[in-house]
Amino acid sequence: MFFTDRADAGRRLAEALRHIQGENPVVLGLPRGGVPVAFQVAQELGAPLDVIVVRKLGVPYHRELAFGAIGEGGVRVISDDIVRRGRIGREDLASVERAEEAELVRQARRFRDDRPRLSLEGRTAIVVDDGIATGATASAACEVVRAQGAARVVLAVPVGPPDAVAWLRTEVDEVVCLSTPRAFSAVGEWYADFSQTPDEEVVSLLAQAG
């Protein structure tokens, strides 16, 4: 399944999410590319839209390997197993966390423009991205959303590889993925237009939805 652009993907995703409309959901877009998709979903479902700002905490000597993630509201999700196996010292942990915390605050302020974060307490949260590759960021975002009080977490993406989608189904309450092509190498190859989403577009869409 190919998508014209992120707006097209969002409209098609919204159709597949109609069954959740009655749950009074909150739609959360992962910046940056997930926000244009999430905007269409929120519009079609008549749901509020917010951005979910998450920073993965990378092992100092192996940044791609995450030992956890942080989100707004002081939420920390740490894998003690990876910390133990990686023999990561307390000071190293603290320094990575400090750096990512500063970036988290900067991004949230930039995107949300002083609007308060929407409360997820007891709500159904639909976490939206423009696609998944490994699923690590999406998984971290869903864990953060759950820690922020969401009662039900639904991950919604237009496209992703079958193995990552299967794994994510074990991590969240529901995964809605429109296409799981076997020959998957990158999210962008399933879009005619996969141009970068600038910060300004994220800010503008959140303001329109607000």
Give the start-to-end residue ranges of the domains of the chain: 6-52+118-209, 54-112
Fold of 6-52+118-209: Rossmann fold (3.40.50)
Does the pTM surpass 0.85? The reply is yes
Average pLDDT for runs of 10 along the chain of length 210: 96 98 96 96 97 90 82 86 86 92 93 89 97 89 93 98 95 97 94 96 92
Q: What is the CATH number of domain 54-112?
A: 3.30.1310
Cβ–Cβ < 8 Å for 8, 173: no
Cβ–Cβ < 8 Å for 80, 175: no
Q: Could you tell me the two tokens for 149?
A: 């009080």
